[in-house]
């Protein structure tokens, strides 16, 4: 990495798109989160960084497309965040990301930032693992479709433990972990955590970001 000024990164997108969560998930301490794009009666943020991370909240609208059209393609990464809310399985999110890539002429990464932020900083506690194992062979597939189904007192007597698990882990991660443990109850915690990390989609985004960052650094310090 050349010495000299470090590239500036801005994380941008509409209100509540997941800008803060994506920034945490990527451990981008020095990146700036801009004010939100497309706020009624407010100007759009000034975008003047060396690299941009544009966060889409599971879909794009006209404002996203208007802003993205002004950003340099080689210095812009697009995150299709909230991939857990797109369709019913990861393939749906991947397909949506491809459609967005083609329409925007930009690389679009499907990501579940909440899960990535959690696996980045987290460990699975003994209590988490116990709760997961207790429910790994749950007969009702709808069990993990919604938070209130997952924490329903009618399921079992460990409602408090399920609530506690859900307070620490996004439901999508819990669902992935239960599927994995159902298939292989002997999975060690560390493997389970790696699996959840992979399932968040953050690694390809991280690799792409690293690559673009090096390019930006070389441009700044030829
Ligand atoms: N389902 C789901 N929710 C997410 C994901 N990422 C973020 N969220 C939720 O979306 C909401 C907004 O997330 P933030 O990271 O605060 O979004 P932001 O763009 O920084 O929001 P503002 O700064 O208020 O504009 C929070 O409730 C997050 O938990 C995700 O991958 N999946
Ligand atoms: Mg924010």
- 136, 103: one domain: no
- 146, 173: one domain: yes
- Whether 150 is in a domain gets the answer yes
Query: pTM for the whole thing?
Result: 0.95
212 ligand 1 Cβ < 6 A: no
CA dist., res. 218 & res. 215, Å (int): 5
What does the pLDDT profile of the chain (222 residues) look like in tens digits?
556 789 999 999 999 999 999 999 999 989 999 999 999 999 999 999 999 999 999 999 999 999 999 999 999 999 999 999 999 899 999 999 999 999 999 999 999 999 999 999 778 999 999 999 999 998 887 889 999 999 999 999 999 999 999 999 999 999 999 999 999 999 999 999 999 999 999 999 999 999 999 999 999 998
Tell me, in angstroms, the distance from the centre of ligand 2 to residue 207's CA. Answer: 23
- 148, 107: one domain: no
- Whether 75 is in a domain gets the answer yes
**Structure tokens belonging to residue 181:** 């443990």
Query: Which atom of ligand 1 has the smallest separation from the CA of 116?
Result: 31
Could you give the number of structural domains in the chain? Answer: 2
Nearest ligand (C-alpha, residue 81): 1
CA dist., res. 49 & res. 5, Å (int): 12
Give the domain range for residue 53.
Answer: 9-112+201-220
- 206, 105: one domain: yes
Are the beta carbons of 17 and 55 closer than 8 angstroms? yes
Q: Which of 177, 162, 202, 150 is nearest to 18 (CA)?
A: 202
Assign residue 201 a region: left if phi > 0, alpha if psi is -120 to 50, beta otherwise? left
17 ligand 1 Cβ < 6 A: yes
- Tell me the residue length of the chain: 222
- 190, 205: one domain: no
- 167, 96: one domain: no
- 152, 71: one domain: no
Distances from the Cα of 69 to the Cα of 60, 76, 105, 132, angstroms = 13, 11, 9, 45
**Tell me, what CATH number does 14's domain have?**
3.40.50.300
Nearest ligand (C-alpha, residue 14): 1
């Amino acid at each position: 990495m050349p010495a000299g000024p470090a590239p500036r990164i801005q994380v941008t997108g509409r209100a509540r798109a997941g800008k803060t969560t994506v920034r945490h998930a990527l451990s981008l301490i020095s990146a700036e989160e801009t004010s939100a794009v497309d706020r009624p009666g407010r100007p759009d943020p000034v975008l003047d960084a060396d690299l941009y991370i544009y966060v889409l909240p599971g879909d794009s609208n006209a404002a996203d497309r208007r802003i993205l059209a002004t950003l340099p393609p080689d210095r812009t990464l697009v995150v299709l965040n909230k991939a857990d809310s797109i369709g019913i399985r990861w393939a749906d999110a991947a397909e949506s990301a491809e459609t967005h890539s083609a329409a925007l002429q930009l690389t679009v990464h499907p990501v579940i930032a909440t899960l990535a932020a959690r696996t980045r900083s987290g460990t699975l506690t003994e209590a988490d693992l116990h709760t997961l194992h207790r429910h790994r062979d749950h007969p009702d597939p709808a069990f993990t479709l919604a938070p209130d189904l997952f924490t329903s007192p009618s399921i079992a007597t460990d409602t408090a433990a399920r609530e506690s698990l859900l307070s620490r882990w996004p439901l999508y991660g819990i669902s992935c972990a239960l599927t994995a443990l159902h298939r292989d109850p002997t999975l060690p915690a560390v493997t389970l955590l790696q699996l959840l990390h992979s399932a968040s989609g953050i690694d390809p985004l991280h690799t792409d970001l690293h690559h673009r960052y090096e390019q930006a650094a070389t441009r700044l310090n030829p």
